[in-house]
Amino acid sequence: MDIPLSYLTERILQLCDWIVTSVFPNAHWWLHIIGHIVLVAMPLAFLGLLGTWLIGILRRRLSSRPTPRPSDLASPFPSNVFVYILRHTRRTQAILLAAALVTLPLLYAVLELPKQIINKALATEAETVSVLGVSLSRYELLILLCALFLVAVLASGSVKYFINLMKGHLAESMMRRMRFTAFRAWSRGKKPCDHSQIIPVLVQEVEPIAGFTGEAFLTPVFQGGTFLTILVFMVLQDPVLGAAALALVPVQIAIIPRLQRRVSALSRERSRELRSFGSAVADADPRDYHGRPQPVLPVARSLKKVQAIRLEIYRRKFLIKGLNNFINHLTPFFFYTIGGYLVIEGRLTLGAMVAVLAAHKDMAAPLRELLGYYQAMDDVRARYEEIRRFLSDQADADRVQVFCDKEIEAPASAENVGATIATSVVAAIGR
């Protein structure tokens, strides 16, 4: 039996109304609109994003059938950058992950203690409060909670300081290892390319990959754990406030990375155009002018194109910044609307409301770091694969030249390379 579409739509609307009215009974119509956005639209958007993400993964897995290349056997690096990182840094990565997990309960304490200070020490009317069987005055309880808050902040900051030092040490160690490995593989190649082409590989291309070493496994655990800890804290104060905190996250996930990828593409296009500009300047010989404007035209066209690309980058960057600021300021609107209603109804304490507002300020940073991590991971994978191809294709001079002409900015002149090669390579490897 076919179910009429109008009947199904009516049932779905009734279900949505029941969800909202069960949370906000006898509320103002404006609050019902906010409730539909937070409790209905946001979960559906999350489900849509999750389905799209899973379908994209399945398509990539089914369509990508890597064919083994004989030349890959000559590369000193494995095919997967994460395998290479884990092979040489697994002990340090384990220490970093353990330190990241330690910060999570400290973060929860930093979020919880201000609420306890307001509710237990400031807003209470009792002269004494019992804590673990010990009777304390309001002043003593206030001093105790403030001291615990200070200890939690100092401990969290100390662990984060240790994590940052370990990340820097890990990145520098991996940078030295990768540069020496790449230089040794290049020097043993059958047809090594010009020195002016291998130096940018060692200096420019290896550095972002090595810098990613400290983020490869730490960032998803540390930033993802931070985001989930703040979300769990909000949900424990009130589930509706937790849902309000996620109301605009689907918008950020769906729109911001797309805009950022376009900015990255424009940056690469600008780099290519700057190299073209350098070539145009090198080809324009003032001694051949004699009143003829032809040598100036390529330089002028290149400068105009660089200007247009930079202006487009500015427009998109400021659009991303404005959109992020709007979303970060719009979410507290949901908190004030929904949280204010719950405080008036007596279903939420004022301390919990203030704590949720403070926690939300720290919620945008880990989400931004996770989105940046996703973009950096794609860039590192591309650079890593290009370095592998470069080192494994030493026998093919044409392919080596194609690689060197892609994203690597070679020095403007190679006339005196022989006098500076030894110093440059030693400085690059010895970092």
Tokens of 24: 């906000």
pLDDT, averaged across the chain = 75
Q: How far apart are CA 85 and CA 174, in angstroms?
A: 8
Which span out of 148-157, 332-341, 371-380 was modeled with the highest average pLDDT?
148-157
Ranked by mean pLDDT, the top range of 129-133, 237-241, 313-317, 400-404 is 313-317
- C-alpha 366 chain-centroid distance: 8
Most confident of 75-79, 298-302, 320-324: 320-324
Ordered alpha helix ranges (H), 188-295 = 195-200, 206-213, 218-237, 239-245, 249-283
pLDDT at 275: 66
Structure-block tokens of residue 9: 């739509």
More confident residue, 301 or 69: 301
Domain boundaries, the chain: 79-238+348-431, 248-285+293-346
Is the distance from CB of 122 to CB of 139 less than 8 angstroms? no
pLDDT at 284 over 70: no
% of the chain beyond a pLDDT of 70: 77
Helix (H, G, I), strand (E, B) or coil at 123: coil
Query: pLDDT at residue 417 above 50?
Result: no
DSSP one-letter string for 309-332? HHHHHHHHHHHHHHHHHHHHHHHH
Ordered alpha helix ranges (H), 80-137: 81-116
pLDDT in tens, 222-278: 999 999 998 888 888 888 888 888 877 887 777 877 887 788 778 777 767 776 777
Is 162 a residue whose pLDDT tops 90?
yes
pLDDT tens digits along 176-224: 888 888 888 777 665 555 565 667 677 777 888 888 888 889 999 999 9
Which pLDDT score is estimated for 347? 79
Name which residue leads in pLDDT, 10 or 306.
306
Residue 425 above 60 pLDDT? no
* Tokens matching residue 43: 């979960």
CB 144 within 8 A of CB 136: yes
| pLDDT attached to residue 426 | 32
CB 145 within 8 A of CB 113: yes
The model's pTM is: 0.70
Give the pLDDT score at 104: 93
Over range 162-187, report the average pLDDT.
86
Beta bridge partners of 129: 136
Q: Which pairing describes strands 128-131 and 134-137: parallel, antiparallel, or unpaired?
A: antiparallel
Q: Could you report the per-residue pLDDT of 377-395, keeping only the tens digit for each?
A: 877 887 788 788 777 765 3
The residue-averaged pLDDT of 385-409 equals 55
Q: Which of 101-110, 385-394, 410-419 has the highest mean pLDDT?
A: 101-110
Residue of higher predicted confidence among 296 and 428: 296
For the segment 355-365, the average pLDDT, to the nearest whole number, is: 82
pLDDT at 5: 62
Residue 128, classed as helix, strand or coil, is: strand
How far is residue 113's CA from residue 101's CA, in Å, rounded to a whole number? 20
39-45's contacts with Cβ under 8 Å and 24+ in sequence apart are 39/240, 39/243, 40/16, 41/247, 42/243, 42/246, 42/247, 42/249, 42/250, 43/243, 45/250, 45/251, 45/254
Give the per-residue pLDDT at 65.
Answer: 55
- Cα Rg of the chain, angstroms: 29
Higher pLDDT, 423 or 38: 38
Per-residue pLDDT, averaged over 301-311, amounts to: 84
pLDDT above 90 as % of the chain: 12
Asked whether the beta carbons of 338 and 34 are under 8 A apart, the reply is: yes
Q: What is the pLDDT at residue 398? A: 41
| pLDDT (mean) for 283-312 | 70
Question: Rounded to whole angstroms, how far apart are CA atoms 1 and 152?
Answer: 62
**Does 422 score more than 60 pLDDT?**
no
Q: How confident is the model at residue 163 (pLDDT cuts 50, 70, 90)?
A: very high
Quickly state the pLDDT bin for 86 (edges 50, 70, 90): confident
339-360 mean pLDDT: 81
What confidence score (pLDDT) does residue 240 get? 81
Are residues 324 and 256 in contact, defined by beta-carbon separation less than 8 angstroms?
yes
